């Protein structure tokens, strides 16, 4: 028979689990903000591998030596509360929104690619051209602007769209 007490009794104090989770959440949020929009929106295979390995690497930092069910529940609840708090803060404060959410990056303007910005954001020309075609344009020359949005999506604004504004 297994011991239910061992399964539910945390090996480290609950407040330490909360503190570890807060620190790891904050560090991961900062890393995602610094290293770009791609990791958020359009996951390529290397991006997916990064996220999975990061999650695996961060888990021990949050749990420490604890493997209890109670510890897991504390960590999950803490992460959901942190996520809710960050979402609320972003909705209430433009300053926090700017701090957490990167601004859009112009990838093309007036029908020409800005290759420096493509490289900076890790977007290949093939990937950017695919977004233009998905916007029903044969090539970038018919786009007024192509943007990498803060959520990782690529938006295409056709030349005629701005002329109507």
Q: Given the structure tokens 């995602």, which residue do they identify?
A: 32
64 close to 53: Cβ distance less than 8 angstroms: no
What kind and span of H or E run contains 158? strand 154-158
Torsion of CA 132, 133, 136, 138, to 10 degrees: 90
**Choices 3.40.50.2300, 3.40.50.880, 2.70.98.60, 3.30.240.20: CATH for 105-163:** 3.30.240.20
Longest CA–CA span in the chain (Å) reads 75
Domain ranges of the chain: 4-100, 105-163
Distances (CA, A) of 92 to 32, 72, 88, 114: 21, 30, 6, 34
Could you give the CA distance from residue 107 to residue 119 in angstroms, rounded to a whole number?
Answer: 10
- pLDDT tens by residue, the chain, 165 residues: 466 777 888 889 999 999 999 999 999 888 878 776 655 556 677 777 887 888 888 888 888 888 889 999 999 999 999 999 999 999 999 999 988 888 899 999 999 999 999 999 889 999 999 999 999 999 999 999 999 998 888 999 998 755 555
17: Cα within 13 Å, side-chain hemisphere: 22
Could you give the CA distance from residue 155 to residue 158 in angstroms, rounded to a whole number?
Answer: 10
Give the global pTM.
Answer: 0.72
DSSP 8-state secondary structure symbol assigned to residue 46 = H
């Amino acid at each position: 028979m297994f011991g239910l007490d061992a399964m539910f009794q945390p090996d480290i104090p609950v407040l330490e689990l909360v503190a570890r989770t807060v620190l790891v959440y904050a560090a991961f949020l900062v890393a995602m903000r610094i290293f770009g929009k791609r990791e958020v929106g359009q996951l390529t295979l290397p991006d997916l591998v990064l996220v999975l390995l990061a999650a695996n690497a961060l888990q021990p930092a949050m749990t420490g030596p604890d493997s209890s069910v109670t510890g897991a529940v504390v960590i999950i609840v803490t992460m959901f509360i942190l996520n809710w708090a960050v979402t609320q803060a972003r909705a209430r404060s433009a300053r926090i929104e700017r701090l957490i959410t990167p601004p859009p990056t112009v990838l093309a303007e007036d029908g020409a690619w800005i290759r420096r910005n493509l490289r900076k954001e890790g977007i290949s020309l093939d990937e950017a051209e695919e977004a233009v075609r998905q916007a029903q344009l044969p090539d970038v020359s018919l786009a007024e602007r192509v943007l990498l949005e803060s959520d990782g999506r690529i938006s295409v604004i056709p030349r005629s769209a701005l002329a109507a504004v």
